[in-house]
Amino acid sequence: EAGVAQSPRYKIIEKRQSVAFWCNPISGHATLYWYQQILGQGPKLLIQFQNNGVVDDSQLPKDRFSAERLKGVDSTLKIQPAKLEDSAVYLCASSSLRTGGHEQYFGPGTRLTVT
């Protein structure tokens, strides 16, 4: 079974530029999560999708961050415009409702550096 795929793995941009990250969850997993992990901290949930609907986006900075999951499979997370404090690793995870949805599987992450 293929794991959660993310791209790109690394990205360096200047502040005020825009950037997009892509995630492909494990096949059949209905729930998809985006996390932000700042250096030295634990991951923080940004947004949770179930199929193509948003379950929780309470910690997503909506003035600059947006995410979508069209067709309930792949997802993209966008930042526009980026700030220095957005430098972090962005992790995507997925879980299956068939197994209760209580175990999340993580992708390798995208490391973003904003200069």
Q: Which residues bind another protein (CB under 8 A)?
A: 6, 31, 33, 40-45, 48, 55-56, 89, 91, 93, 95, 100-109, 111
Q: Following DSSP, what letter does each residue of 65-94 receive, concatenated?
A: EEEE-GGGS-EEEEESS--GGG-EEEEEEE
Only one residue has tokens 């950037």, namely 19
115 alpha carbon, distance to own chain's centre: 21
CB of 63 to another protein, least distance (A): 23
Distance from C-alpha of 109 to C-alpha of 91, rounded to nearest angstrom: 4
C-alpha of 66 from chain center: 10
Query: In the complex with another protein, which residue's Cβ is closer, 1 or 63?
Result: 1
Q: Tell me how far, at minimum, the Cβ of 34 lies from another protein, in Å.
A: 12
- Of 30 and 81, nearer to another protein (C-beta) is 30
Rounded Cα distance, 108 and 7, in Å: 9
Q: Which residue has the tokens 């030295």?
A: 40
- Shortest distance in whole angstroms from residue 98 CB to another protein: 13
Residue placing its CB nearer to another protein in the complex, 64 or 111: 111
Q: How far is the CB of 14 from another protein (least distance, A)?
A: 20
- Cβ closer to another protein: 75 or 104? 104
